């Protein structure tokens, strides 16, 4: 090992400044307040190139998150009528491939997004849980349609329906509708991509409080090992990112 710093230090958090950096380089590095934000990172790279500065800061996870968000591989997994809309989204008219999310995988081991499209019955619930457990981290779950969100038409008299998929697995994004239109699904996907690009491990933030206690889990293995940085059980209300439509323009730009 030499004392010479690596030209591209890999960071997973705050920007690291190489020893011997000039004041200008230091200022640039510190200007990146949110190192995971790819836009700022690219802006920094442009400025650095224009000013003829050497590359000092390399938040690699920004690039990784960007790549991850634009190459979602959903699981081929349809349970009921919502799956018809999901297929429509995958087909040529709406074309999920435009967003890099059209590669439906036949096995959970290659997928990172589970589109739970349809009614989850008590008989199906352990299978859904197992498929989720078989997916590699980081993984995301989209609860599509009224049935998956809270039982839908079966919420009162449905003796056989799980009243919300978040009782079994953590959910990243809910798409209401019966079934949701393809546009709604695309909207949810874009929002999910936005969160992924910012490196927010959102699959754990929606975890209902009761699921933090794994002993309450109806299946083996607790609530599922998706949590990249799981909030502590006592942290109270989790920090839920708002939907783009609920936010002001100012927030959207940041």
Partner 1 sequence: MTQQEIHARLRERFGNAIRDWQTPETGDACIRVAPKILHEVCAALRDDEDLRFDFLRLISSVDRTECLSSVYHLYSYTHHHEAVLRIDLDRENPHVDSVSDLWAAAEWHERESFDMMGIVYAGHPDLRRILLPEDWAGYPLRKDYVAPKEYHGLTNE
Question: Could you tell me how many residues of this chain bind partner 1 (CB under 8 A)?
Answer: 14
Any idea what the Cα angle at residue 156 is, between residues 154 and 160, rounded to 5°? 50
CA separation (Å) from 63 to 33, 60, 68, 69, 200?
A: 16, 5, 9, 10, 14
Binding of residue 157 to partner 1 (CB under 8 A) = yes
Cβ distance to partner 1 smaller for residue 30 or 220: 220
Length of the chain: 254
Query: 165 to 184, contacts with partner 1 by CB under 8 A?
Result: 167-168
Nearest approach, Cβ of residue 163 and partner 1 (Å)? 7
From the list 216, 235, 247, 252, which residue makes contact with partner 1 (rule: CB under 8 A)? Answer: 216
Give the shortest CB-177-to-partner 1 separation in angstroms.
23
Among 217, 227, 231, 241, binds partner 1 (CB under 8 A): 217
Site for partner 1 contains 220 (CB under 8 A): no
Tell me the C-alpha distance between 233 and 220, whole Å. 20
Per DSSP, the residues of 168-189 read TS--SEEE-SSSPPHHHHHHHH
- Write out the binding residues for partner 1, residues 99-138 only, by CB under 8 A: 122-123, 125
Q: In the numeric block, which tokens belong to residue 77?
A: 């997994």
The site for partner 1 (CB under 8 A) is made up of 122-123, 125, 157-160, 162-163, 167-168, 216-218
């Amino acid at each position: 090992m030499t004392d010479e710093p690596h030209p591209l230090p890999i960071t997973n958090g705050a920007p690291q400044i190489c020893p011997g950096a000039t004041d200008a380089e230091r200022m640039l590095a510190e200007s990146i307040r949110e190192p995971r934000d790819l836009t700022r990172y690219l802006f920094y790279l442009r400025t650095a190139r224009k000013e003829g500065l050497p590359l000092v800061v390399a938040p690699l996870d920004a690039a990784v998150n960007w790549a991850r968000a634009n190459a979602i591989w959903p699981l081929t997994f349809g349970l009921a009528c919502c799956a018809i809309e999901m297929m429509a989204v995958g087909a040529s008219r709406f074309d999920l491939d435009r967003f890099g999310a059209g590669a439906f995988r036949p096995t959970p081991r290659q997928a990172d997004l589970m589109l739970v499209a349809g009614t989850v019955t008590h008989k199906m619930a352990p299978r859904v849980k197992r498929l989720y457990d078989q997916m590699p981290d980081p993984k995301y779950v989209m609860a599509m349609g009224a049935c998956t969100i809270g039982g839908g038409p079966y919420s009162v008299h449905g003796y056989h329906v799980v009243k919300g998929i978040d009782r079994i697995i953590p959910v990243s994004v809910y798409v209401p509708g019966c079934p949701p239109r393809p546009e709604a699904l695309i909207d949810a996907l874009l929002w999910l991509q936005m969160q992924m690009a910012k490196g927010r491990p959102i699959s754990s933030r929606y975890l209902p409080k009761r699921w933090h206690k794994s002993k309450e889990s109806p299946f083996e293995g607790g609530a599922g090992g998706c949590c990249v940085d799981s909030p502590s059980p006592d942290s109270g209300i989790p920090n839920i990112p708002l939907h783009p439509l609920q936010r002001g323009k100012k927030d959207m730009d940041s």
